[in-house]
Structure 1
Amino acid sequence: MYFTIVALLFTAIAFSQGTITGTIVDGDSGEFLPGANVVVKGTINGATTDFDGKYSLNVSQSSGTLVISYIGYKTKEISFTATGGKSDLGRTTLEADASALDEVIVTTYSLAIDRKTPVAVSTIKAAEIQTKLGSQEFPEILKSTPGVFVTRGGGGFGDASLRMRGFNSENVAVMINGIPVNDMENGVVYWSNWSGLSDVTSTVQVQRGLGASKLAVPSIGGTMNIVTKSTDAVKGGNVIMTTGNNGYTKYGFTLSTGMLENGWATTIAASKTSGQGFVDGTEFLGYSYFLNIAKKINDNHSLSLTAFGAPQTHGQRQNRLLIDDFRTSERGIKTNTDYGYKNGQFVSIEDNFYHKPKMILNHFWTISDKSNLTTSVYASFGTGGGGGFSGVNKFGKYNLNYRDDEFAPVNLDIIVDENKALGLAGSETILRASRNNHRWFGAISTYSTALTDNIELIGGVDIRSYKGEHFTELTDLLGGEFFIDNGDQNNPGNIARVGDKISYYDEGFTSWLGAFAQVEYSKDNLSAFVSLAASNTGYKRLDYFSYVNTDPERETDWINFFGYSGKGGANYNLDEKNNVFANIGYFERAPFNNAVFLNFRNDINAGAENQKIFSAELGYGFRTSELKLDLNVYRTQWNDRTETVSFQNQDGTFNSANVLGVNALHQGVELEAQYRPTDKLRLTGMISIGDWTWQNDVTGVKIFDDQQVEVDEVDIYIAGLKVGNSAQTTFALGGSYEVLESTTLRLDYNYAGNNYADYDPSARGLSAAGVQAWEMPAYGLFDVGLTHRFDFGGFKASLNANVYNLFNSEYITDARDSNGTASTALVYFGAGTTYTVGAKLNF
């Protein structure tokens, strides 16, 4: 930034020979690149591009060369000739260069480099996120990516689910600036915790399969690395306002200093989002904040501190319904039976509230021209939980004593009156929250050195410590004076009041120590790598309620699992247009916490063992200035998998099954293409065909209710069953066209088919052996968008509009199977037509 300021001052006083103008755009997406540097080679005469990617540069010579650079892209040189007047160089495209992002990501979880890293990869740029996302959930920006299937689940704010190659989020590594996000105990990612990321994200890269990670234990389905704004932030800022259907409203701002003369750079952002939600009873209110402070100490050392979070509360729809129920209800696909009214005020029975701030401190050290050390330390503190009820169930959709009809909101005033009438007997039905608080600390340090001109050695450590606190909190007595709880063995018959812990209370501890080493080779057209990693995962549990205080069994010893991985791959560029790659790997991953401690107690599973994964992949790429095409085939065998399956009972309550020792095979083919026949037109497409199947039956599966009480033990027959709730055939087509110089029109189509209902463990007895789960109807959705850029009072501004599910198609995204038929499956319908209109002012 200091260099740019000096260049601009010099330009202002220089003798003008002519004016050079032009536009800088992204080579893949065609989106404008604001803040790119344009400098006359060999001078300090330069300029930066504006919001529309345009630049204007006065030059004193009649000819020369412009050097165009932008963080994250390959630098480009173009010649110019200026003999008085203006010379327009038109559009200049810059190609992405992941290796240029080393300053803003942790290299222990590196981004893939095109035609070099041998993995299947898709990259989403900030411009696409800002124009397309609107009111969608953050992972929905990936819905046109091969092998990725995203739904909104029950429809609540942040309740989206992401699956990659048939693997759920527990088995997809999600990283923010190279730091892991998946829960340490169960691997789950809750997107409501990261709702503000879209405002500050510069790149999202999805690596399917083994990926390029060097961390101790790689993911199974793939990796998603979110790179936020950092020292690449352009000086300036913006304010945004967006409105949409069902009262959707979002306000926010971003401010960036750019790199100052003293080596400091700061970016801050904040937003507020609220609305009623498309689904009834899913009102939401969320805030987000982001802070990055970077300091370039000298040419060899720099620091970057990032802090972000998104406190939120939102209503949920947990209960699926029969298809006929949605047809019968007056509210149709918006029907939700999980909320009610008390004293005329809205009450969400199944709500969610959480705040998970995360802080990351990065240190980048250039030891020499051959060696670097990158270290990150981080901390996360989560507080919150999800709502529900305890005691007598009065919330079932068939219980007309508390509803005007079976799909109407619950009349909580009736329950209040009943609890009051019980007097000294206490409330028989109350509202509670299942809390899951945690403290998470970690550090990742990576050393890299060039052994020769062609060989690089990378090694490092990955250390994590996690403590999770789990309990039920009484939140509303619903008119009563107290609630009698028998969950605590130290206090049976406890007279509980609001704020007290009931039902269960335990703490889980997780430790992680990993080390990794990788050798990379690159010469001419060949690049290859071999990676080895090892880790020790330890679990410990302390139960305050299930054991009396004097019982030594209330606290376990540490239970340790040793995991390791080995993988390798190679890419060969056949010529300037064609390349091929292959990768192969095997790793063993520690089981999750719930597979180690059985029955929600300190009962240790003596049969718990590592999950075993073997994966292989072949790929082909084709590149020209107009066309980019990628084709790959893969096969992943997963043995000794552990899975927690939550399923719904007819009365609206939920049970869960801890399924151990199940095997699965995931294989398929993926094709992705981008075509730009002209500067104004960009076409995209993809097709993904998968074959994802469970391979064996499992015996002795225990069933628990939502208060962790064992209610049954079953054998489940799932051999040959299709992996559920993940469309195994997806297809997408998209196009954007610059209809006017500052106006772009977008149209996207997404198809999902071969989507099977997930199995219900209680319904997969011997009679269900060989019976395939119900296949949901295939569907295709159209989205349309328009972006218009203009000047407003001397500032650059834009209007952005999106309509999702343009033709209001009716479709089912998630289902729980019963007997393989549509009439008995419990389902979620996807959202109908929704829209957003937003304005953005840049300064």
Structure 2
Amino acid sequence: MRKMLFAAMLQLCALTLAAQNIVKGKVVDDQGMPLAGATVMLNNKQGQYTDAEGYFRFSNVSGNKAEVSISFIGYEPLKQTVTVPSGAVFHLKKGNHWLNEVTVSSIQATAQSPVAYTNVNQKQLNRNNLGQDVPYLLSFTPSFVATSDAGTGVGYTDFRIRGTDASRINVTINGIPYNDADEQGTYWVDIPDIASSLDNIQVQRGVGTSTNGAGAFGANINLQTERPALKPAGEVDLSYGSFNTFKGDVKVSSGLINHHWAIDSRFSSISSNGYIDRATARLYSYFLQAGYYAANTTFKLVTFGGSEKTYHAWDGVPADSLDTHRTYNPCGFMGFDASGKPLYYKNQTDNYLQTTYQLIGIHRFSDKLSLNAALHYTPGSGYYEEYMQNQVLAQYGLTPFYVNGTEVTNSDLVRQQWMTNQFAGGVFTLNYQTEKLTAQLGGALNDYWGDHYGQVTWVKNYVGSLLPDWQYYRNNVNKWDGNIYLKLNYDILPVLNIYTDLQYRQVHYSLYGQNENWDDALNAMQPLNVNQMFHFFNPKVGLMYRPSAHNQLFASFAVAHREPARTNYTDATSGEWPTNETLYDTEVGYKYDLPWASFGINGYFMNYKNQLVLTGKINDIGEALTTNMPKSYRTGIELTWAVKPVACLRWNAGLTLSKNRIDNYMEYVDVYSGSDWTWSRQVANYLGSVPIAFSPSVIGNSVLAFVKHGFEADLETHWVGKQYIDNTGSSARALSAYCVNNIRLSYQIPVKGLQQLQLSLLLNNVLNEQYISNAWTYSYYYQASSGDPMTRYNDFGYFPQAGFNLLAGLSVKF
């Protein structure tokens, strides 16, 4: 906590007075409601879109006067001359104008939605976009904790919001589901550098508004891809830094062609050696969109994809290596050579290729009625390869062999575990709006199908005929997911509106074949035979009260359901499937907003029924089970504030204080005995009320930014409190709190003929904090023989994050 206070003092001491020539404003409709996505041109040279609250801002404007031109779907264009510097509210009148963008945006919250949310615009994303993944670009939002296997934010990254893990957080891109439908997680590594092609991201905490795809069981994240460039443009971004981290991308935009067509494209390459040993990442991606824009109808084809090759770093650093070899990576270990030097398999890698195609359209029937719709298709294929020591050949369907007259039943081998899948479907929203009523009828129907199978590619000293790509297990999965929702937002009074959101969701999940785990009782691979149907009704209701232009107060209640994920089935005893989880979410919030400052407070109570958690209990083949816990909850307060005393200085910060508990928790611990440590049984320990793992009671973030004449300096602070690695609440199995400070410097150099030439420097973890953001643990007892006392042991895998490191960037826009 002292480090957090020290960082805050540094930020407060940095407050100085300055001035800047800026033109800023807010675009609203006849009723004073903000218009997000309005096109704003300055002197017919610079262009941008308003953010989710209707704001725009141009910096470093020359001269005493400037011409502002504004246009928006269904409104008359506005052209106005303003003085420099200036700030004003621009009112647009309804009329006919070309559709400047196509997006399935009905799942986003608006200023009238009674939910807790944060909007992140394109400028905020670009500020730190020097190669790190989306979770690290969102780490300054409330209640958000990011982590990285490689310790750098490049490659496999993960995140939690309010302690909720990524498999319970819905993610959409243009309103289209992105979560892996089977495992329900989000794999940012499959779409590297997607942030370079985004217009904005909205993070809704709690259940939020109804969305498409995986159940929003604690938060949802909506990504909107970038809008078409209004004029022909090109961009080159290069960055390089610690751990041989490199990012390069090239963007080309056609601008509007014949007032109707536009094409935008990007190609990116990212690579890094990682902070952890051999945690390399080689990532490539592309983005392409082509759109037709007319007065009432627009179509847009969006395609993006990526390929990744990352070295395994998911085993973590053993506890006994943290002090002596903090970056040690046990993955790929093959043994020792004759001199005692450890050997590692060079191709211990994860490999995946994925592409996404989206066809999005909008038609405006009238000023009150419009239709958004989209079709999508995503094929993916890949595998991870690993060197396995002393494997039982029979468990891979291989026949023992003889070497020098000795039978070999166990041997080292190389295996690949493959997955090929396809995801396709459609989403739609019918939008109706009057002076007092906003209504949206929407839904989606999606299908996911694919295969999982394992191959043996090599066996050490194998004698006999090893068939090429010998398969030792195979299973197939199919998941239908459909939902329909109706959202109504009605102004009861000029200062009061009621919000109702009703969603029905149906899920059919089937999984057949052989699992990758061996079943000793059957002397075969574990059979899979899952055929489950779920029917979910997810109602939401809320009130928004706005007594003045500076104050707003909301309250809401929402219900959400989530079906079990793939691992909940594959790790369960056959036929004894887990049930679905239910969440009852109550949110109350208040926001006070002034031109130079704002303050917000949000209280939440997330009450879970049958939440799936790890208890240590195992199934019939020894795999850890996730068990439905009857009662658990998360409750807390989120504080946010922003201060801008002068034009050149701003301070945005947030603090989350929470309590996260499981009631009546029973822990199951394995017991081993004898000189050979043979597994004998499990013992149950009743622990009562315990904290939920990876749910820190304190999360803080702060960004202090100084901007003047093209120069910007940011001090970013992230504070994460103590986290328990398991659900026992034991300090022996916990991660210490940490406070990380980053500094970002950038300078825009005016160059004739260029739209922008910017130099950036990102100094991460400037105080060289030695911290760990994630871990796993396995607890067990040893008892020499019956009647002897039991001794408890713990195995750990820790994921240390990099100390001080830097990234330098160059951005050129034509």
Aligned to 1:513: 482
What is the root-mean-square deviation in Å for CA atoms of aligned residues? 4.1
Do residues 815 (structure 1) and 775 (structure 2) align?
yes
Do residues 791 (structure 1) and 750 (structure 2) align?
yes
Q: CA deviation at 1:430?
A: 1.1
Aligned to 1:256: 253
Q: Figure out how many residues of one structure are paired with residues of the other and give that number.
A: 731
**Structure-2 change in CA distance of 1:505 and 1:233 (3 Å):** farther
Do residues 678 (structure 1) and 646 (structure 2) align?
yes
Where do 1:262-661 residues align within 5 Å?
262-296=259-293, 298-329=294-325, 333-339=326-332, 347-348=345-346, 350-390=348-388, 392=390, 428-450=411-433, 452-477=434-459, 480=462, 496-502=466-472, 504-522=473-491, 524-543=494-513, 558-595=531-568, 599=572, 603-605=574-576, 608-643=578-613, 656-661=624-629
d(CA) in 1 for partners of 2:213, 2:131 = 36
* Deviation digits for residues 367-403 of structure 1 (CA, Å, limit 9, x no counterpart): 2222111111111111113333445169xxxxxxxxx
| Secondary structure of the corresponding residue to residue 749 of structure 2 | strand
Q: CA deviation at 1:158?
A: 2.5
Q: Counterpart amino acid of 2:748?
A: R
**Structure-2 change in CA distance of 1:386 and 1:76 (3 Å):** same
**Structure-2 change in CA distance of 1:34 and 1:263 (3 Å):** closer
**Structure-2 change in CA distance of 1:497 and 1:747 (3 Å):** farther
**Structure-2 change in CA distance of 1:76 and 1:691 (3 Å):** farther
* Deviation digits for residues 781-828 of structure 1 (CA, Å, limit 9, x no counterpart): 110011111134632211111010002111122233467999865422
| Secondary structure of the corresponding residue to residue 750 of structure 2 | strand
* Deviation digits for residues 419-458 of structure 1 (CA, Å, limit 9, x no counterpart): 99899959811122222221111111111223x5312332
Q: CA deviation at 1:564?
A: 1.1
TM-score relative to the length of structure 2: 0.80
**Structure-2 change in CA distance of 1:463 and 1:830 (3 Å):** same
* Deviation digits for residues 32-74 of structure 1 (CA, Å, limit 9, x no counterpart): x9984147xxxxxx44359975667999xxxxx95443779x9
CA contact (8 A) 2:148 2:799 kept: no
d(CA) in 2 for partners of 1:513, 1:309 = 25
* Deviation digits for residues 485-529 of structure 1 (CA, Å, limit 9, x no counterpart): xxxxxxxxxx64452222x21001111122211221135222221
CA contact (8 A) 2:135 2:159 kept: yes
Aligned to 2:11: none
CA contact (8 A) 1:204 1:227 kept: yes
| Secondary structure of the corresponding residue to residue 192 of structure 1 | helix
Q: CA deviation at 1:90?
A: 2.0
Q: CA deviation at 1:596?
A: 5.0
Aligned to 1:89: 84
d(CA) in 2 for partners of 1:836, 1:574 = 46
CA contact (8 A) 1:538 1:558 kept: yes
* Deviation digits for residues 216-248 of structure 1 (CA, Å, limit 9, x no counterpart): 875121111111113366531201111011111
Q: CA deviation at 1:646?
A: 9.8
Aligned to 1:204: 201
| Secondary structure of the corresponding residue to residue 645 of structure 2 | coil
d(CA) in 2 for partners of 1:731, 1:529 = 30
* Deviation digits for residues 122-156 of structure 1 (CA, Å, limit 9, x no counterpart): 12222222222323332111222211111114537
CA contact (8 A) 1:419 1:428 kept: no
d(CA) in 2 for partners of 1:346, 1:288 = 29
Do residues 691 (structure 1) and 689 (structure 2) align?
no
| Secondary structure of the corresponding residue to residue 322 of structure 2 | helix
Q: Counterpart amino acid of 1:136?
A: Q
Q: Counterpart amino acid of 1:301?
A: T
Do residues 750 (structure 1) and 743 (structure 2) align?
no
CA contact (8 A) 1:253 1:271 kept: yes
Aligned to 1:774: 733
Q: CA deviation at 1:685?
A: 1.0
Aligned to 2:53: none
Q: CA deviation at 1:285?
A: 0.8
Q: CA deviation at 1:590?
A: 2.9
d(CA) in 2 for partners of 1:273, 1:423 = 49
Do residues 734 (structure 1) and 703 (structure 2) align?
yes
d(CA) in 1 for partners of 2:177, 2:687 = 32
Q: Which residue of 143, 155, 158 corresponds with 2:155?
A: 158
CA contact (8 A) 1:24 1:36 kept: no
Q: CA deviation at 1:249?
A: 1.3
Q: Which residue of 127, 130, 133 corresponds with 1:134?
A: 130
Aligned to 2:805: 834
Q: Which residue of 146, 149, 154 corresponds with 2:145?
A: 149
TM-score relative to the length of structure 1: 0.78
Do residues 240 (structure 1) and 240 (structure 2) align?
no
d(CA) in 1 for partners of 2:203, 2:563 = 24
| Secondary structure of the corresponding residue to residue 720 of structure 1 | strand
**5+ long unaligned stretches in structure 2:** 1-19, 28-36, 49-56, 393-400, 672-678, 781-791
d(CA) in 2 for partners of 1:620, 1:459 = 28
d(CA) in 1 for partners of 2:635, 2:808 = 40
d(CA) in 1 for partners of 2:306, 2:615 = 28
* Deviation digits for residues 146-172 of structure 1 (CA, Å, limit 9, x no counterpart): 111111145374321111111100111
Q: CA deviation at 1:735?
A: 0.9
Aligned to 1:803: 763
Q: CA deviation at 1:270?
A: 0.6
| Secondary structure of the corresponding residue to residue 164 of structure 2 | coil
Identity of aligned residues (%): 18
d(CA) in 1 for partners of 2:402, 2:767 = 48
Q: CA deviation at 1:693?
A: 1.5
CA contact (8 A) 1:217 1:534 kept: no
CA contact (8 A) 1:426 1:480 kept: no
| Secondary structure of the corresponding residue to residue 288 of structure 2 | strand
Aligned to 2:784: none
* Deviation digits for residues 513-570 of structure 1 (CA, Å, limit 9, x no counterpart): 22211221135222221111112111122216899xxx9x988584211111111112
d(CA) in 1 for partners of 2:288, 2:812 = 20
d(CA) in 2 for partners of 1:104, 1:421 = 71
**Structure-2 change in CA distance of 1:642 and 1:216 (3 Å):** same
Q: CA deviation at 1:319?
A: 2.2
CA contact (8 A) 2:443 2:482 kept: yes
